[in-house]
């Protein structure tokens, strides 16, 4: 087995255990550990609809993003991010009502 994969898997498992992430969230991150934008190693997956707003750990509500892109989505907002990176727009729209965030 690839050493990088084993190391990444161990780090993800350790992080998820420490922060008490759900099995669903952990499983998503283990399957999707590359940023969907640039391919770099993913930071903890982004919740499209935040937990505070009723979002879940369902994979349709998660987006694998590296630290740079995770920070960017918070800085520029989900609408601008979805329009800038059209590949993510599909995932965002599938997770939430597009009119609610202004995606067209």
Residue 6, CA distances (Å) to 9, 11, 12, 17 in order: 5, 9, 10, 17
Q: Express each pLDDT in 65-77 by its tens digit.
A: 999 999 999 999 9
User: Whole-angstrom Cα distance, residue 57 to residue 25?
Assistant: 5
CA dihedral 10, 85, 93, 20 (to 10 degrees): 20
With respect to CATH, is domain 3-101 assigned 2.40.128?
A: no
**What is the value of pTM for the model shown?**
0.77
pLDDT given at position 3:
73
Within 10 A of 15 (CB to CB), how many other CB atoms are there?
Answer: 14
| pLDDT > 90? residue 97 | no
Q: Please give the mean pLDDT across all residues of the chain.
A: 84
């Amino acid at each position: 087995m690839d050493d990088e994969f084993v190391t990444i898997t161990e780090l993800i498992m350790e992080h998820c255990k420490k922060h008490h992430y759900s099995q669903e969230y952990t499983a998503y991150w283990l399957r999707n550990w590359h940023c969907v934008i640039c391919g770099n190693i993913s930071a903890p997956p982004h919740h499209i609809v935040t937990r505070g707003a009723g979002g879940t750990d369902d994979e349709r509500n998660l987006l694998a993003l590296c630290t740079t892109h995770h920070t960017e989505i918070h800085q520029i907002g989900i609408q601008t991010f979805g329009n800038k990176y059209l590949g993510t727009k599909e995932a965002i729209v599938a997770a939430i009502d597009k009119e609610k965030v202004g995606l067209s």
